[in-house]
Amino acid sequence: MKKILTILATAMTAATLGAQTLNVTVGSVVYMFPASQTGDMTYNDGTTLNIMGKEFALSDISSMKVEDTEVTDNSIAVSYDGTSAVVRVAGNIARYVSPTVEGAHVGIEQSADVADEISYNLSGATSDGSFYMSGSYKATVELDNVSIVNSGSGNEGYAIWIANGKRINVSVSGENSLTDAAGGGQKACFFVKGHAEFKGDGSLTINGMSKHGFKCNEYMQLKKSFGGSIIVAQAASDGLHIGQYLDMRSGSISVRNAGDDCIQIESTDDETDENNGQCIISGGTIDCVATAAASKGLKSDSDMTISGGDITITTTGSAIWEEDTEDTSNSSTSGASAIKSGGNVVISDGVLTLTNTASGGKNISVDGNLEISGGSITCKNTGTLFYSNGTTTNTNYTGDTDRIDSRYTSSPKGIKVDGDVVISGGTIDINATGRNGEGIESKSTMTIDGGTLSISTYDDAINSTSDMRINGGEVTTVAANNDGIDSNGDLWITGGTVMAFGASDPECGLDADEQHKLYITGGDVLAVGGGNNTVSSTTGSQALLATTSSVSAGNQVSVKSGTTTLATFTVPSSYTASSSSGRGPGGSMGGRSSSVLISCAGLTSWTSYSVTINSTTTSVKAATTYSGR
């Protein structure tokens, strides 16, 4: 009875103090009722007390006291301290939540009756704790200089587990760190069942000890108000595993030491979901190093759109043999990719710096079509040729691949596209020096309308399986052991500046498939190689000059009509004439002269012009056709 009277007296005092707070403590949970809101408090049967709709068993109450503190409505604060935690619940939502605390493992179940968004503030540090929250209404989780390590099985091993399937605002301030339990069955260190929207200017470091670092079942958005950073220091599987789509507008993402892909966006089961499987980047910074075998730096199941931001990705993991046990004919090699899209890719702006050192790796791999209209793309690929047939594997294969099933090899490539390629702007710089390394490969058509392309490779610098059209831009290619530009359909050059350097015979500067043709109707063109493709006449054909000469890097090739210069080309420094010991980059075999093909505006058929190469000038007669290879 004495205890009951004390409680009633305290409650009555609280009701008269409008600016103060009645704190009701139950174990490690403190319910904070503003005195101005408490109103009547109902005391029933000598066993329960009801405050603002929250019913307490008197036997559970550790203490009740009035303090001169302020309460923020719709808020819950979780303070970690070593192996313990204290939860503070605002009185206006006390009846809608059911907190549990076991050591520093905190769980909060949110009632379906909640009508307003609740903010959960996490602070402090724990060496064995976690946070769990369930519900069916959107919420905010504030990471406020919190450090959580789950060293046991509390909340199934997660550091943070948001089982609420709605929109979750994740606000990051200060320095935050999350580490989940090793060897557990949890999906991630930080898991959000719904969709996560990040804001704030703090940092979040994640250590995924069992599977992914961060995972959300629906979309992940880094809002323009997010000026902070998400750092995955390690992950047993993916660094970030995102369902539906990634929308990155600001902030930074860094991933290291992932056991699989750095960032993966997968489609949901509902094909009608908005932007399903897509990656959308308009700003911010991505810095990833993918080290696992055949891993991807940035991977989306569907389309990828890049209209801004700074993306730096390095891949180092070797290709692998992927066995299809149900249909062995589908088994094949699979390489790493800095960027991998299962749909179309559109790049209109941004800075992409992509490096591959892995055997059989790609800088950009696209299952659909590729469109580039702006931005800066730098691809450096020093990877080697990968070979495997499921039994024998060689990560530095140097044999002939002409008679090997293509499923058994994976070549290093700057940009590989299964569909069409359209380039209308931007700057593209590709260096793929490893064996069989190619610059840009389209398994369909290729169209270049603009932009600046500088490509140096071991194999073909630019290759298309079907027709290729170059209508504008500045295109410079150097292929050490194959063609500068290779079209397996018709090859059209209608404008722009094109310099294509191929290897010694039988390779070409410009090469169209034997059953197709090369047409030049405009532009400034210089093609050097062991040979050049036959040029066929068509409506609007531009006259050309054909000669043979030794060509040296850094020198100029010019065409004059009398004293008037019609065109000048500077041979790129990456071009090196071959030696007598075998086929080499871009030109002569053992000192023999290369085939040189020049075309520019102002040439008239059957008129002679002065052609200067390496300071040596000869007279060459123009024509509209050329009988090459």
Pick the closest to residue 233 from 258, 215, 216, 261 (CA basis): 258
Two tokens at 156?
A: 């199934």
Q: Each residue of 458-501: pLDDT tens digit?
A: 999 999 999 999 999 999 999 999 999 999 999 999 999 999 99
Strand 195-200 vs strand 240-243: parallel, antiparallel, or unpaired? Answer: unpaired
Across the chain, what does the average pLDDT equal?
A: 92
Rg (CA), the chain: 33
- 152-157 average pLDDT score: 86
Two tokens at 164?
A: 């609420």
Looking up tokens 């929109």, which residue turns up?
A: 167
Query: At residue 401, does pLDDT exceed 70?
Result: yes
H-helix or E-strand containing 13? helix 2-16
Query: At residue 586, does pLDDT exceed 90?
Result: no
φ/ψ (deg, to 5) at 328: -65, -20
Strand partners, 143: 122, 172
pLDDT band at 578 (very low <50, low <70, confident <90, very high): low
Two tokens at 376?
A: 């800066």
Contact of 381 with 433, CB cutoff 8 Å: yes
Query: At residue 21, does pLDDT exceed 70?
Result: yes
Query: At residue 508, does pLDDT exceed 90?
Result: yes
- 47-65 average pLDDT score: 93
Question: What distance in Å separates the CA atoms of residue 342 and residue 324, rounded to the nearest whole number?
Answer: 19
Strand partners, 409: 387
Strand 497-501 vs strand 332-334: parallel, antiparallel, or unpaired? Answer: unpaired
- Give all strands (DSSP E) within 343-420, no chain letters: 345-356, 362-366, 370-372, 376-381, 386-388, 393-394, 409-410, 413-417
Two tokens at 461?
A: 């610098």
- Over pLDDT 90: what percentage of the chain? 85
Q: Each residue of 256-274: pLDDT tens digit?
A: 999 999 999 999 998 899 9
Question: What distance in Å separates the CA atoms of residue 449 and residue 469, rounded to the nearest whole number?
Answer: 8
Dihedral, 43, 44, 48, 51 alpha carbons, nearest 10 = -40
| CB-neighbour burial class of residue 233 (10 A; exposed 0-12, middle 13-18, buried 19+) | middle
Query: At residue 74, does pLDDT exceed 70?
Result: yes
Looking up tokens 């619940």, which residue turns up?
A: 89
- pLDDT score recorded for residue 592: 58
Pick the closest to residue 446 from 420, 428, 475, 424 (CA basis): 420
Task: Give the contacts of 479 (CB within 8 A, at least 6 positions apart).
Answer: 456, 457, 458, 459, 460, 461, 501, 502, 503, 507, 585, 586
Query: At residue 34, does pLDDT exceed 90?
Result: yes
- pLDDT score recorded for residue 502: 95
| CB-neighbour burial class of residue 12 (10 A; exposed 0-12, middle 13-18, buried 19+) | exposed
- pLDDT score recorded for residue 8: 47
Q: Each residue of 511-532: pLDDT tens digit?
A: 998 889 999 999 999 999 999 9
Query: At residue 12, does pLDDT exceed 90?
Result: no
- Over pLDDT 70: what percentage of the chain? 94
Question: What distance in Å separates the CA atoms of residue 44 and residue 49, rounded to the nearest whole number?
Answer: 6
Question: What distance in Å separates the CA atoms of residue 223 and residue 284, rounded to the nearest whole number?
Answer: 10
Contact of 529 with 550, CB cutoff 8 Å: no
- pLDDT score recorded for residue 133: 97
CA 55 to chain centroid, in Å, comes to 50
pTM of the model: 0.93
pLDDT band at 135 (very low <50, low <70, confident <90, very high): very high
Output the DSSP codes for 276-342: TTEEEESSSEEEEEE-STT-EEEEESS-EEEEEEEEEEEE-PPPEEE--SS-GGG-EEE--EEEEES
- pLDDT score recorded for residue 584: 35
Contact of 572 with 496, CB cutoff 8 Å: no
Task: Give the contacts of 585 (CB within 8 A, at least 6 positions apart).
Answer: 478, 479, 480, 481, 501, 503, 575, 576, 577, 578
- pLDDT score recorded for residue 197: 98
Looking up tokens 């603009």, which residue turns up?
A: 450
- pLDDT score recorded for residue 593: 80
Question: What distance in Å separates the CA atoms of residue 488 and residue 395, rounded to the nearest whole number?
Answer: 28
**Least confident stretch, 100-104, 291-295, 327-331:** 327-331
Measured between alpha carbons, how far apart are the two ends of the chain, in Å? 108
Query: At residue 241, does pLDDT exceed 50?
Result: yes
Count helices and strands (H / E) in the chain. Answer: 2, 59
Q: Each residue of 424-461: pLDDT tens digit?
A: 999 999 999 999 999 999 999 999 999 999 999 999 99
φ/ψ (deg, to 5) at 99: -80, 150
Strand partners, 619: 610
Pick the closest to residue 411 from 494, 309, 335, 523 (CA basis): 335
Q: Is 408 helix (H, G, I), strand (E, B) or coil?
A: helix
- pLDDT score recorded for residue 115: 87
DSSP 8-state code for residue 537: P
Two tokens at 70?
A: 């302020």
- pLDDT score recorded for residue 328: 83
Question: What distance in Å separates the CA atoms of residue 627 and residue 629, rounded to the nearest whole number?
Answer: 7
Q: Does residue 101 come out as left (phi exceeding 0), alpha (psi in the -120 to 50 range) or beta?
A: beta
Q: Each residue of 304-341: pLDDT tens digit?
A: 999 999 999 999 999 999 998 888 888 999 999 999 99
Query: At residue 282, does pLDDT exceed 60?
Result: yes
Strand 97-102 vs strand 104-110: parallel, antiparallel, or unpaired? Answer: antiparallel
